[in-house]
Amino acid sequence: MTVSPVEHRYLQVARTLRKEIVDGVYPVGTQLPTEHALCERFEVSRYTVREALRRLREDNLIASRPRAGTLVVARQATNAYAQDVMTINDLLAFAEGAQFVIDSNAMVSVDGQLSHRTGLAVGSEWLAVLGFRRAGPDAAPICRTEYYVNRAFASVGRLLHRHSGPIFPLIEDLFGVSIVEVHQEISAIVLTDELAARLDADTGSAALEMRRVYTTSDGEIAQVTVNTHPASRYRHSMTMRRVKG
């Protein structure tokens, strides 16, 4: 996607202010500088500043109130993230219902094979967090889970040794961004010898590979997740209703 110079500049302003809010430069309850002051600081137009502030409002970091200016507010959870057949909160419930045991946690450079599986650009660098989800310590793995986290948010990896739930809420809290869309694709695959052994399944048996791409309000990919489920351990259910035209 091509970004115009004006769009690029307001995203830069939004990211700078977002980082300062998260770092405590502007604590909750304090005012941001006026639009005029921000225009002078960043040497941009009032339109650019207003677009940057709009981004911060969408991320639930600020609120504009009459006679009070633009205030930094406490981030609140929202149930408004809706997909066609499920909500992002459904993903949270699934991930929190199974323990994630990490095998490895390191930066990787995307090669051709990984690019084909994830859709990420060849040569780009991402934090790869690989492991398995289990319903209990003695239960067979529910799935193989691979997280690929944007290098801009890779410092989240330091917190994962004591975190078993999904990663994207940590990214939202640490960096002040909002995940506004999750695109999911499901493919049928055949388990290799190595993966079948780790999943306690038969080599060559059917499995479902689910790829999810998590996008922020800035249009940036924050994370790509690939879950591989033995066919007998996963069921995808959805309800469709006729819509009157």
* pLDDT tens readout for residues 50-66: 888 988 888 888 998 77
pLDDT at 79: 41
| 216 strand-pairing partners | 179
Whether residue 100 sits in one domain with residue 169: yes
What is the spatial order of strands in the sheet that 99-109 belongs to?
Answer: 99-109, 125-134, 143-150, 221-230, 206-216, 179-190
Instruction: Name the band, by pLDDT with cuts 50, 70 and 90, for residue 38.
Output: very high
Domain boundary pick from 32, 47, 72:
72
Residue 64 per-residue DSSP state? E
Q: Do 224 and 198 reside in the same domain of the chain?
A: yes
CB 216: neighbour CB atoms within 10 A? Answer: 24
* 127 and 47 fall within a common domain: no
Do 167 and 203 lie in a common domain? yes
AA identity, residue 81: Y
Q: Is the pLDDT of residue 5 over 80?
A: no
pTM score, whole prediction: 0.70
At 160, which amino acid appears? L
State whether 98 and 66 are in the same domain. no
CA distance 232 to 201: 9
Q: Which of 85, 75, 227, 87 is nearest to 145 (CA)?
A: 227
pLDDT in tens, 106-122: 999 999 999 999 999 99
> What mean pLDDT comes out for the span 24-36?
90
- Give the type of residue at 214: Y
- Alpha-carbon span 62 to 71, nearest angstrom: 5
Domain of residue 57, residue span: 5-72
Tell me what the mean pLDDT of segment 127-155 comes to.
90
Confidence of residue 95 (pLDDT cuts 50, 70, 90): low
Q: Exposed, middle or buried by CB within 10 Å (0-12, 13-18, 19+), for 102?
A: middle
Gap between the Cα atoms of 81 and 190, Å rounded:
33
End of a domain among 16, 46, 72?
Answer: 72
pLDDT at position 174:
87
Residue 145 in any domain: the answer is yes
Q: Is the pLDDT of residue 189 over 50?
A: yes
